[in-house]
Amino acid sequence: MFGMLGNIIKEQFRSTKQEQEISSDDAMLIRMDDKIHNFDNFIHPLPESKPRTPFGSPNKDGKKRGAALLNVRELFTMLPTALTMTINMQRGSNLYDGKFVPERQRVTDEFISTLEENAYELGVKDLKYVKVPRNAIFQNKGIPHEYAIVFTVEMDKEPISTAPSFDALHEVMKGYKNISVIANKLVHFMRNTGVGAYPGTALGGTTDYVHLAEIAGLGVIGYHGLLISPTEGARLRIGVIYTNIENLPVQSENEHLWVRDFCAMCKKCIRKCPVNAIFDQPKPRGDGGMQSIDHDACREYFDQNYTCAICLAVCPFSQVGYDKVKERFKGNPNAPQFQIPVGEIAVID
């Protein structure tokens, strides 16, 4: 059995395979990413692009990790969600066969309205558009088109508030599953009208989805490294569809940057992180954006504790919501100003 379902089962026996250098989830994602080589031309990253953070830890010390720590009840609760997600990710990956030939690259306002109506009916919470900057494409990866539709789905407050727990992990997985289903349906709608469309994988992905969501204007990256949006706070997952549509209503302003001024004062996620993996002061990362997480420090705890998510759960934006935080916030003129530039243009090599 392929993918996450197979991986869950394989992980149960993983402690006997200490020689494995990458997790089975990462191996699955790399196989999907590599389908970009079915294209004669695709968009490459810049030399300074970041590598993708591995999804799972290398299993070099024999400790059980991730799915291997689930008990039988949890495993059977998780399987339908993981199976649906894996099947849909595989279907999405199969669309990267290099065979679809778009008939057009411009659309009408009516197309955009119908696309958005379909998306909201399928469960999308918010949706915007972006011209993908090449520095958001991960090292050694590629994308088929230079534009993207970026959308969010919500995760429920109650299970997320129990993080780290199985219920919170299951809610996160449901978010990924929903993204995989929605992305495929929207891609089929788009292709049926003659435009190019490819789903980004729900897990992993060849671009930095949080980065894309911020420059699309869906929200802003908080000090916990996650997107904070006006619709779901930080309780969201992000999906991406790459497309050749060149007249998408891309916006250039982000009205949510005040959130980072609030972060500079709040720092609750930093205090609550059990392994001090969130930097007390985010580091400038060279493109105007910020690096706020020590991923190596996070990963061990993340893998051993239902993928953790404490930083997501304790964030005031997850708990009381965007509007209430905004209403009470009086501003913070001393906050460091980080802002990913919006106007970069992707170029086909």
Pairing of strands 147-154, 227-228: unpaired
Between 215 and 311, whose beta carbon lies closer to ligand SF4?
311
**Three-state SS at 264:** helix
Cα 25 from Cα 67, distance rounded (Å): 10
Across the chain, which distance is largest between two alpha carbons, in Å?
56
Minimum distance from residue 293 beta carbon to ligand SF4 (Å)? 5
Phi, psi of 51 (to 5 degrees): -75, 155
In the bound complex, which residue of the shown chain has the CB atom lying closest to ligand SF4?
222
> Please, are residues 90 and 181 in contact by the beta-carbon 8 Å criterion?
no
* Choice from 55, 166, 262, 338 touching ligand SF4 (CB under 6 A): 262
* Choice from 268, 285, 321, 329 touching ligand SF4 (CB under 6 A): 268
User: Using the rule CB under 6 A, is 277 a contact of ligand SF4?
Assistant: yes
Specify the stretch interacting with ligand SF4 by CB under 6 A; choose among 10-18, 31-39, 76-84, 315-323.
315-323
Phi, psi of 291 (to 5 degrees): -110, 120
Pick from 321, 332, 324, 274: nearest CA to 298: 274
Specify the stretch interacting with ligand SF4 by CB under 6 A; choose among 43-51, 86-94, 114-122, 275-283.
275-283
Specify the stretch interacting with ligand SF4 by CB under 6 A; choose among 31-39, 78-86, 268-276, 336-344.
268-276
User: Using the rule CB under 6 A, is 315 a contact of ligand SF4?
Assistant: yes
Q: What is the DSSP string of 191-204?
A: HHTT--EEEPPSSS
**Three-state SS at 152:** strand
Query: Which amino acid appears at position 109 of this protein?
Result: D
Residue 278 burial (C-beta neighbours within 10 Å; 0-12, 13-18, 19+): buried
* Choice from 42, 138, 147, 223 touching ligand SF4 (CB under 6 A): 223
Between 50 and 268, whose beta carbon lies closer to ligand SF4?
268
* Choice from 275, 326, 332, 339 touching ligand SF4 (CB under 6 A): 275
Query: Which amino acid appears at position 68 of this protein?
Result: A
User: Using the rule CB under 6 A, is 302 a contact of ligand SF4?
Assistant: yes
User: Using the rule CB under 6 A, is 219 a contact of ligand SF4?
Assistant: no
Distance from chain centroid for Cα 153: 11
User: Using the rule CB under 6 A, is 203 a contact of ligand SF4?
Assistant: no
What is the total residue count of the chain?
A: 349
User: Using the rule CB under 6 A, is 273 a contact of ligand SF4?
Assistant: yes
Minimum distance from residue 266 beta carbon to ligand SF4 (Å)? 3
User: Using the rule CB under 6 A, is 222 a contact of ligand SF4?
Assistant: yes
Binding site for ligand SF4 (CB under 6 A): 222-224, 262-263, 266-269, 273, 275, 277-278, 293, 298, 301-302, 308-311, 314-317
